[in-house]
Structure 1
Amino acid sequence: MTGAISLEALAEYIQDAFRDVHVDTSTPDLFFFAGDERKFPFATIVTRDTELDHHSELDRDGVFRLNLGLSKESFQKLFPDPDPNVDYADLDVLLPHPTYARMFWLSVLNPSHETLRLLRPYLKEAHALQALRAARG
């Protein structure tokens, strides 16, 4: 995992990127919300497998997954053709979310600093989309 950003540094980066971010830390996973409305996160960092979400093999030592909710257009540009052979356990690769791809969520396990640079516009988009949804009520 050469060049991988730490979970703590990634969480700090997301919090510092936007003035209105609220983070739910009530579980081992982190949920990032835009503004005071805390119904749906714009980003999550998941640190463990669950019965319904084990495709990424997050129970490996030090492995976590960043997830971002995108617009349909951005998601389809990144993933124009569904690949039935996706390995959701690959590190530092942009992937459709193993469970929420239908809702246009992307995921990446243990992103490197370079991958985080590529993700910046998508992080901004995810935040803006959720802030807009929250403002609409």
Structure 2
Amino acid sequence: MTATKDTWTLDETLARVGALTGIHVHVAGPETGAPEVAWGDVFLYPAGAAAPDNRFPVATIVTGDYPGFDTASDLDRAGVYRLNIHVGRDRFRDLLGYGPEGHAARRDDHDYREQDRLLPHPVYAAQAWVSVVNPGPRCGALAIDLIGEARERNVRRG
């Protein structure tokens, strides 16, 4: 299965993210000191924050599998990427019907390859991260809104 016609391309997602107020987009590459497996991945920080200050991103876009670690979404398929968003414990519960602490018991309930569906993150769900493989009309707008919420939550925490 490759990217479906009705989902957003990576460029379309980046354009939507780029239109958000207060988000700094950082693309990993050889010049950033990122490991080669992460080249092309995107890290989204609140404006004013950047990777060198060691803050955690509010969202990421992963463009390929991390062998031996994060392969459940099968991101090495043509045109496939995954948008990941830190939503916090309460919002995670609102979105998925259970808390991040309950994900281990439900991990096998999900097809992490499914596109345009909000899912718990296959690796970081316990830390209150959600993900969407190739967002589109079904949940893309929600995903973009969740990035804005993550930014606001980060700003409130200082």
Would the TM-score normalized by the shorter structure come out above 0.5?
Answer: yes
Asked if structure 1 preserves the Cα contact closer than 8 Å seen for 2:116 and 2:140, the reply is no
Aligned residue for 2:58? 42
Aligned residue for 1:31? 43
- Compute the displacement of 1:114 (Å): 3.8
- Compute the displacement of 1:14 (Å): 0.9
Aligned residue for 2:31? none
- Compute the displacement of 1:53 (Å): 0.8
What residue ranges of structure 1 are gaps of 5+ in the alignment?
A: none
Alpha-carbon displacement from aligned partner over 1:61-84 (angstroms, at most 9, x marks no partner): 110000111021110112224433
Pick the structure with greater CA Rg.
2
Identical-residue share of aligned pairs (%): 33
User: 4+ residue stretches of structure 1 with deviation over 6 A?
Assistant: none
The two structures have a TM-score, normalised by structure 2, of 0.77
Aligned residue for 1:91? 115
- State whether structure 2 residue 125 is matched by structure 1 residue 108: no
Aligned residue for 1:55? 72
What's the secondary structure of 2:114's corresponding residue? coil
RMSD: 1.5
Aligned residue for 1:76? 93
The two structures have a TM-score, normalised by structure 1, of 0.88
- Compute the displacement of 1:46 (Å): 0.4
